[in-house]
Structure 1
Amino acid sequence: MLPQEIIRQKRNGAALSADEIQSFVAALAAGELSEGQIGAFAMAVWFKGMSRDEVVALTLAMARSGDILSWSGIDRPIADKHSTGGVGDNVSLMLAPIAAACGLAVPMISGRGLGHTGGTLDKLEAIPGYEITPDAGLFRKVVRDVGCAIIGQTGVLAPADGKLYAVRDVTATVDSIPLITASILSKKLAAGLQTLVLDVKVGNGAFMSSRADAEVLAHALVDVANGAGVKTSALITDMNQPLADAAGNAVEIRNCLDFLSGRKKDTRLETVVLAFAAEMLVTSGIVSSAQAGETMAANALSSGEAADTFGRMVHLLGGPSDFVEAPDKYLTKAPVTKPVPAPRSGWLSACDAREIGMVVVDLGGGRRHPADKIDHRVGFSHLLPLGTHVDKGEAIGTVHASTETAADAAIAALTTNYRIDDSEPSLLDVISERI
């Protein structure tokens, strides 16, 4: 069928067949569609939506537009996790080696920062020599020998998604639930997964700021992924404050190493990491209950096996062999570090996580334009969680900056961002729902 006929049908609210969707995606992948046709299709979907069956068909068609990874010969369940993005969200860095230490194979294909959110790949590039785009042979070897590998998407995985997203980005159709769902899941299906766990963020630092929108997206992702043959569940998690006590690139790598070394116990971050490890283990059939999964994950941490797994992954992907033991030899430090003093005494009761992410971007730790070069040294560390009582002048965090001027601007922005009240706040649970 002609592409314009498929566009017309969707514009008029008709349901597209799997064959029609496959035909359109094949033409998209082959470069046979104009940007106008791609944009018109995206806008028609934005206005008219898609049924579950249509989104399943779109997801499968985009996944099959390139290579599908095969993990034959690897005698472990093939599992992964995906986050919709947030500030101080470095869960993947710890979760992959924990899950691998517990018996899963985790071929984790991650992305770069988007807007105010940090990107796992940008963080990993703070490690000297780490290869984020290995060839397929090395990727497979690391997953087989270590149990996990965190890398970036290659051009041969779901290439139709890349072409569609590029047009969505400039046609105000990025926030279409069917297109978000197909975009996320097509890459995961192309990775050859058997199970998937989704972290759908909600709050002022998330792309979905309302609980209702987050639930709609979570249900769409879970329904479509299961419909496409990947056993999937989701947790809705709070993003009204940075998840880790660090936001940046090298500072979040240091935070990861501290976590794997047992120095981040009893934190919101630990709650989320252990919950997702348990979810992955239950979904993959390694354990029968979330409690058993959390116990297994906690043992992988306390025994040092997860830290060892992370170190071996880093080394096999080109990083230093002693990175976990001696990170200060390799992670460059910002020339200026300063405490961020509380402007008054009281309880840290609220903050705007999105704005904290944008301050990191202003420091040079993120991109405003695709070609921008990231300064991996900058960001915040030692951020106090909401619900902490502080005295005037007490540090609520530490800024890492390239200049005194940049540090002072970041301090001013962060102190303005936090609300300090006289009474202890009531805070949301970090994990609010399982879907």
Structure 2
Amino acid sequence: MSHEPYSVVELITAKRDGGTLSGEQVDWLIDAYVRGVVADEQMSALAMAVFFRGLEPAELARWTAAMIASGERLDFSGLSRPTADKHSTGGVGDKITLPLAPLVAACGVAVPQLSGRGLGHTGGTLDKLESIPGWRAELSNAEMMAQLESVGAVICAAGAGLAPADKKLYALRDVTGTVESIPLIASSIMSKKIAEGTGTLVLDVKVGSGAFMKSHEHADALARTMVGLGTDAGVRTVALLTDMSTPLGLTAGNALEVAESVEVLAGGGPADVVELTLALAREMLAGAGRDDVDPAEALADGRAMDVWKAMIRAQGGDPDAALPTARDTETITAEADGVLTRLDALAVGVAAWRLGAGRAAKHHTVQAAAGVELHAKPGDRVRGGQPLLTLHTNTPERFGPARESLAGAYEIADAPSEARRLILDRIS
């Protein structure tokens, strides 16, 4: 029987009592967990200790490095152009990756966007794209490299080889109440992004009701932690704190958000989606040394749309095919004249999820056509009886639960409330 250098119980009690783990202890712990030497219940106890006691900066850096070391690292140095990537902490109506990747690629920077699926009220980028007929999310590393060279952008599922320790630990945190720990969130996101090998990383850290981080203070702490980890690992990293108190754009759902993204690429689309897409594009281009290019021009002249079509075709999709539409719709109207002062992002996200746009467990399927369409945004003047929201689903028995989640989610007043800025802060 092999002798392990450490006792996991001793590491758990050390962390529980506020101690600091050495670099060697952290390396062993993550590796032993992946090898199955450390059991799930032991790692659960340790995650809970970290949840309450935190990790010192050196511990966190080593923890992240050990997660990266558990798998492969991609290398884009052979590409003919620099790389930049964006990661969003997730929100409602957050379809920004869809127009952003082809836009940045149209400006001469390759975008390897490894994305995920949605869980709960936040939508997954892959779920959105899978509403396009024929499009596939799973690519080999060789296919990804070839597409980055030829098209300049790829949005696909992360391979099983990237940070496998994170996959295992993430599933455990999900069922043990240890998700909302800043060190564990930061190491989870950054281990995958650093292993992905991009040269520049822009983080979109959402703040507000529809976000993971409800308060500015927590979002700021998470952003600073992640920027520090990226910078220390040699990745040019910057974070924008952006508002998620109300949904982004006018849609929340899969096919609905794809249609809206295509509008943005065609030079239209909602002002907030365009604003955030351009702000993130400028950060990605600056990090990759291409701040001489104006992304607004690439949106206006159709170059970004050309890359979008090429990117969808390269992954088997038909960019010109009709998107799925829901069999049933139901409209919620304004009760009175006035100004829409509030439309809660979380409530809209939960409604879209209940209509079938999201999943409650990883193995559930999503409805491509389900979701919520907004006819007004906070600050807009509305008339009594005017449509506020349209609910879309193929299973009309879901309308009731969706309406329940929207009860009290919006307010109409005589006078407008103070407008919220979309981009709240920049951290580098």
TM-score range, shorter chain: over 0.9
Q: How does 1:278-357 map to 2 (within 5 A)?
A: 278-287=282-291, 296-320=294-318, 323=319, 326-328=320-322, 331-357=323-349
Q: Is this contact kept in 2: 1:39–1:168, CA < 8 A?
A: yes
Structure 1 position 327, deviation (Å): 3.7
Q: Is this contact kept in 2: 1:110–1:121, CA < 8 A?
A: yes
For residues 299-358 of structure 1, give each alpha carbon's deviation from its aligned partner in whole angstroms, at most 9, with x where no partner exists: 1111111111111111111112xx1xx342xx1111123443212111110122111111
Structure 1 position 382, deviation (Å): 4.1
Cα distance between partner residues in 1 of 2:118 and 2:283: 25
Q: Is this contact kept in 2: 1:336–1:407, CA < 8 A?
A: no
Q: How does 1:3-402 map to 2 (within 5 A)?
A: 3-264=8-269, 267-287=271-291, 296-320=294-318, 323=319, 326-328=320-322, 331-402=323-394
Cα distance between partner residues in 1 of 2:174 and 2:372: 29
- Tell me the SS of whatever aligns to 1:369: coil
Cα distance between partner residues in 1 of 2:207 and 2:94: 13
Amino acid at match of 1:430: L
Q: 1:91 to 1:300 in 2, by over 3 A?
A: same
- Tell me the SS of whatever aligns to 1:150: strand
Cα distance between partner residues in 2 of 1:300 and 1:248: 26
Q: Unaligned stretches of 5+ in structure 1?
A: none
Q: 1:394 to 1:192 in 2, by over 3 A?
A: same
Structure 1 position 116, deviation (Å): 1.0
Structure 1 position 12, deviation (Å): 2.6
For residues 94-124 of structure 1, give each alpha carbon's deviation from its aligned partner in whole angstroms, at most 9, with x where no partner exists: 1111111111111111111122111111101
Cα distance between partner residues in 2 of 1:419 and 1:121: 33
Q: Is this contact kept in 1: 2:343–2:377, CA < 8 A?
A: no
Q: Is this contact kept in 1: 2:350–2:402, CA < 8 A?
A: no
Residues paired across the two proteins, number: 422
Cα distance between partner residues in 2 of 1:258 and 1:327: 15
- Tell me the SS of whatever aligns to 1:307: helix
Structure 1 position 141, deviation (Å): 1.0
Q: Unaligned stretches of 5+ in structure 2?
A: none
- Tell me the SS of whatever aligns to 1:364: helix
Q: Is this contact kept in 2: 1:340–1:414, CA < 8 A?
A: no
- Tell me the SS of whatever aligns to 1:385: coil
Cα distance between partner residues in 2 of 1:45 and 1:406: 39
Structure 1 window deviating more from structure 2 (99-108 vs 373-382): it is: 373-382
Amino acid at match of 1:275: A
Q: Is this contact kept in 2: 1:341–1:415, CA < 8 A?
A: no
Cα distance between partner residues in 1 of 2:257 and 2:273: 12
Amino acid at match of 1:282: A
Q: Is this contact kept in 1: 2:348–2:372, CA < 8 A?
A: no
Cα distance between partner residues in 1 of 2:70 and 2:383: 57
Q: 1:406 to 1:26 in 2, by over 3 A?
A: closer
- Tell me the SS of whatever aligns to 2:82: coil
For residues 100-152 of structure 1, give each alpha carbon's deviation from its aligned partner in whole angstroms, at most 9, with x where no partner exists: 11111111111111221111111011112211111111111111111110111
Structure 1 position 430, deviation (Å): 0.4
Q: TM-score, normalised by structure 2?
A: 0.95
- Tell me the SS of whatever aligns to 2:247: coil
CA RMSD of aligned residues (A): 1.6
Cα distance between partner residues in 1 of 2:23 and 2:76: 27
For residues 15-67 of structure 1, give each alpha carbon's deviation from its aligned partner in whole angstroms, at most 9, with x where no partner exists: 22222211111112222211121112211211211122211111111112111
Identity %: 42
Cα distance between partner residues in 1 of 2:262 and 2:60: 39
Q: Is this contact kept in 2: 1:343–1:415, CA < 8 A?
A: no
Structure 1 position 273, deviation (Å): 0.7
Cα distance between partner residues in 2 of 1:382 and 1:345: 17
Structure 1 position 8, deviation (Å): 3.0
- Tell me the SS of whatever aligns to 2:12: helix
Amino acid at match of 2:361: H
Structure 1 position 385, deviation (Å): 1.4
